[in-house]
Structure 1
């Protein structure tokens, strides 16, 4: 019998596994944009630990292994900035990214009083953008973030009682 993936709050001792997974996951993004200096590939363990202490962080586990993660902070106006949504390459396209996104939206709305959600992705990351559109995010802007990288910002309002909005199209 196989193990199922569980999603829970990250613990302090998850930082090293998250950083290793982040490095693995962002290789394809760096290759896509021709820029291996992007922040997820240059972040130190100390910087990640500090970031984890400032916000809401979820991890997806397969047994003891961290196979996915997402993190966010909420500002004084109730805008949650979601970052670092990562899923191990061998588990992609099985709904885990959507589960992590829904989980953090729910937690942010319920425990952090988030009123809207904001995230960003590289312009060439169509798979990421497709996932975000599916979950109700709409493009609100784009900014150059390097010589080959344009970052697209997407947002959505929190649903009733923080319910995540899954958009289905025919």
Structure 2
């Protein structure tokens, strides 16, 4: 009998698992852009704890294993900034990223204290799979920002 993936709020016991998964998942992005100094690969455990305390964080578990995660926080303009949507490489292409994106949007919509007016996220300009997912989920490009000679971040948004 196979196990099913469950999505729940992340808690303190998940922090190290999220950081390890993040490191694994961002290897392909670092390779794609030729930059292994990107923030997801250099983030410390303390930085991650601080980030998680400021907003919402979700994990997807297969049994006890954290296989995916996403987080976000609301800014002063009512924008829910969604970040670091990660899925374990062996779990990709099964709809888990889309499920997590839907779940974090619902989390912001259901939380009266952090009800968002819009959702915003970003990804690298060469990250075709990410761009396809975000567009399929209703996000549209609203800008871009060159952060280095090989990387331009594309900002995407949709109304809440």
CA distance in structure 1 between the aligned counterparts of 2:70 and 2:34, rounded to whole angstroms? 24
The alpha carbon displacement at 1:52 in A equals 0.7
In structure 1, C-alpha distance between the alignment counterparts of 2:41 and 2:76, rounded to whole Å: 29
Q: Does 1:151 align with 2:158?
A: no
1:140 maps to 142
Q: Residue 120 of structure 2: which of 97, 101, 118 is its match?
A: 118
Q: How many residues align?
A: 158
**CA offsets 1:54-87 (integer angstroms, 9 cap, x no match):** 1100000001110000000001221000001000
State the SS of the aligned residue for 1:114: coil
The 5-angstrom pairing of residues 1-170 of structure 1 reads 1-111=1-111, 112-158=114-160
- Residue 53 of structure 1: CA displacement? 0.8
Cα distance in 2 between the residues matched to 1:118 and 1:69: 17
Moved more, 140-149 or 35-44: 140-149
Q: Structure 1: how far apart are the matches of 2:124 and 2:54?
A: 24
Q: Distance in 1 between matches of 2:69 and 2:7?
A: 9
* Larger deviation, residues 71-80 vs 97-106: 71-80
TM-score, normalised relative to structure 2: 0.97
CA distance in 1, matches of 2:74, 2:94: 28
**What CA distance in whole angstroms lies between the structure 2 residues aligned with 1:69 and 1:38?**
18
How far apart, CA to CA, are the structure 1 residues paired with 2:88 and 2:26? 10
RMSD: 0.6
